[in-house]
Chain A
Amino acid sequence: MMRLALFRIAGAVPNLLGVIVITFLLTRALPGDPAAYFAGLAATPEAIEQIRAQLGLDRSLPVQFVAYLRDLLRGDLGQSLSTGQSVAAEIAARLPASIELTLVALALAVVIALPLGVAAAVRQGSWIDQLARIVTTAGVSLPVFFTGLLLTWLFYFILGWAPSPIGRLDPSFSPPTAYTGFYLVDALLDRDLELWWACARQLIMPAITMALFVLAPITRMTRASMLSVLTSDFVRTARALGLRSPTVLVRYALRNALLPVVTTLGMVFSFLLGSNVLVEKVFAWPGIGSFAIESLTASDYAPVQGFVLTMGVLYVLLNLLIDLAYLLIDPRVAMQA
């Protein structure tokens, strides 16, 4: 078991390297000449050459790559030209906002999609199966930025239920003490329920928007895998032995049906992290996605590269986590080793 886990961790290393190499190559393909930029508008060609040498841009690609790796190990992602701060610090400050939003959205999607998928499989062809079919087809067709704006219009402007879409917290509150950076957790640690509710209110709409988008793949997979498990011999045996229907469904069928669902979580995370950028823009959520968009608009590229790298590394780690979770959920995988 332990050896297998280590094996899986080692398996993530090539992907991690791939992410770093691609980000490095994107850095080199950058529009504009960083040396000319740093030298200023009035610089002579000689001055630009000198700065190019200083920045190491005149050396061969492999040498530059080693320098890039060394910077990465020191946690140096360059400077943001628009904020004047180091990119690593900026991203570290905003990452909790993005992760909190993504996790809440995922939890929301799973809580809705699993029962829906199971119900659709058990009552195949019924109205709930039709509902699941509509959700799965419509869900992947919805542009998240459109859903976000539609929900804002409906729940903020028309019904007045939701707070205005202006980030993580209404300006009349001051943010909780930064223990973890997750406002929901920090507000609880501060024992301030009013503040917790204020944070939760801001979080609900963007989280629902993202959850709607990933509802589809989880529901579809749950339904398909439940359907195949329900026709299997061990479920028939369990039924024949007189076990109660909920016991058969949850303890026997669902536990086995979950395995392929966990595998699709990788794709789900890709959707989530990608749509995260769009949702953050719609709801002015101060995460790394909106930071990347602001920098893009200002032609400030170091933060964009830092963002792509952070997202890539995050995604590789999430996939590794899924792999390791698989070992725990499915004892057969560990047995085969």
Chain B
Amino acid sequence: MSALPTPAPAARPAVPRGGHLRHVLTENPVTLVAAALFAALVLIALFGPWIAPYDPLATAPSIALQPPSAAHWFGTDALGRDILSRCIVAARLDLGLAVAAVALSFVIGATLGAAAGFFGGWLDRIVSRAADTIMAFPLFVLAMGIVAALGNTLANIVIATAIINLPFYIRVARAEANVRRSAGFVESARLAGNSEWGVLMRHVFPNLLPPIAVQVSLNMGWAILNAAGLSFIGLGVRPPTPEWGIMVAEGAQFIVSGEWWVALFPGAVLMLAVFSFNLLGDALRDLLDPRRRT
């Protein structure tokens, strides 16, 4: 990353964007599939309640635990609720939790990291030490502890997920701000009479956005997994709210007796969502930052 002796004034890709985008999309057909999946997910999250064929909360004991059929594509759960409808409606909550958490860690982490890298000194030491301390825990375990301590609510799921992702944003922003603190364009912005904060926010910060955008996209899948994992162990989301993690947990007991659809459909939807986010994240990294490709 810092291999270049002097960082380019603007980290915008030098390649013509349209051509490169087409190259990234066509070189790997999987990326196209992932993009289509992603678009479908976003639509489902936006319009889920209108798409769902049944009321996700309506119980019907007479049709409990029915295998997938023409009427109920994903089958029904122990209370006779339609699993497909529940999976569809859950998209908004699952994606919403992840987006909120990533947005929070992006805003806080990027600001703290950029300030730490740009100003250095005691601020840098405190911020870096805080990031190291968070990283000294197995992250999912720390998230559990935070939710247990702050209280078992949805908002705290978001906060916990945001906190465990903070170090990644802090580190990227800090490293990128640090190599630019005395770059030519920064010096000239200083000479032009800008305050230090003004230089940081208006001149340095925009240059940090491409690498941080890559971090965001690589982070989304992991944030979804994390939030769903927390609700799988009974934190945050409460029944009967439809959410993928808690639906898998509700269906887990039926696996050994062969009613696989109750747990495996929501789990598969969750997996597809994370998979498409991760593939798109890789594609975006190739697009914005080809050097980090492995």
Contact = CB atoms under 8 A, between A and B. Distances in A.
A18 interface: yes
B275 interface: yes
B294 interface: yes
Nearest to B145: A308
B271 A281 contact: no
Contacts, number: 164
B256 A312 contact: no
A281 B129 CA distance: 33
Contacts of B251: 149
B137 A308 contact: yes
B113 interface: no
A273 interface: yes
B148 A270 contact: no
B149 A26 contact: yes
Interface stretch (A71-79, A138-146, A174-182, A232-240): A138-146
Given A143-B225, A269-B138, A296-B233, A149 B264 contact: yes
Interface in A1-46: 14-16, 18-19, 21-23, 26-27, 29-31
* Interface residues of A, dominant DSSP: helix
Given A143-B225, A145-B229, A149-B264, A277 B275 contact: no
B132 A15 contact: yes
Contacts of B150: 29, 31
A21 to B, nearest CB: 8
B144 A277 contact: yes
Interface in B244-292: 245, 248-249, 251-252, 255-258, 260, 263-264, 267-268, 270-271, 274-275, 278-279, 282
Contacts of A18: 129, 132-133, 136
A316 interface: yes
Contacts of B135: 270
A202 interface: no
Contacts of A146: 248, 263-264, 267-268, 270-271
Interface residues of A, number: 58
B248 A277 contact: no
A254 interface: no
Nearest to B267: A146
B3 interface: no
A210 interface: no
Given A26-B146, A27-B149, A141-B274, A150 B136 contact: no
Contacts of B278: 137, 140-141
Interface stretch (A89-97, A108-116, A151-159, A323-331): A151-159
**Most chain A C-beta atoms within 10 Å of own C-beta, residue among B144, B150, B274, B275:** B144
Contacts of A282: 252
Interface stretch (A53-61, A62-70, A192-200, A299-307): A299-307
A143 B249 CA distance: 12
A220 interface: yes
B233 A143 contact: no
A315 interface: yes
Nearest to A319: B136
Contacts of A30: 149
A137 B234 contact: no
Nearest to A28: B149
B176 to A, nearest CB: 21
Nearest to B142: A308
Interface string A91-106: 0000000000000000
**Most chain A C-beta atoms within 10 Å of own C-beta, residue among B142, B146, B251, B279:** B142
B29 to A, nearest CB: 13
A292 B256 CA distance: 24
B198 interface: no
Contact of A293 (B225, B234, B256, B264): B234
B143 to A, nearest CB: 8
Contacts of A253: none
A164 interface: yes
A164 B260 CA distance: 15
**Nearest 9 CB-CB pairings of A with B:** A274-B140, A146-B267, A18-B133, A308-B145, A273-B138, A141-B275, A26-B149, A15-B136, A224-B294
Given A143-B225, A146-B264, A296-B148, 15 more contacts: A18-B132, A22-B142, A26-B149, A31-B149, A31-B152, A140-B221, A142-B271, A149-B248, A149-B255, A149-B267, A282-B252, A311-B141, A312-B141, A312-B142, A315-B137
Interface of B: 129, 132-142, 144-146, 148-152, 221-222, 225, 228-229, 232-235, 245, 248-249, 251-252, 255-258, 260, 263-264, 267-268, 270-271, 274-275, 278-279, 282, 294
Interface of A: 14-16, 18-19, 21-23, 26-27, 29-31, 137-138, 140-146, 149-150, 152-153, 156-157, 164-165, 220, 223-224, 269-275, 277-278, 281-282, 292-293, 296-297, 301, 304-305, 307-308, 311-312, 315-316, 319
29 contacts: A15-B133, A22-B134, A22-B142, A29-B150, A138-B275, A140-B222, A141-B278, A142-B274, A143-B229, A143-B232, A146-B267, A146-B268, A149-B255, A164-B256, A269-B138, A270-B138, A270-B139, A275-B140, A278-B232, A282-B252, A296-B144, A296-B233, A301-B149, A304-B144, A305-B145, A308-B141, A308-B142, A308-B148, A315-B138
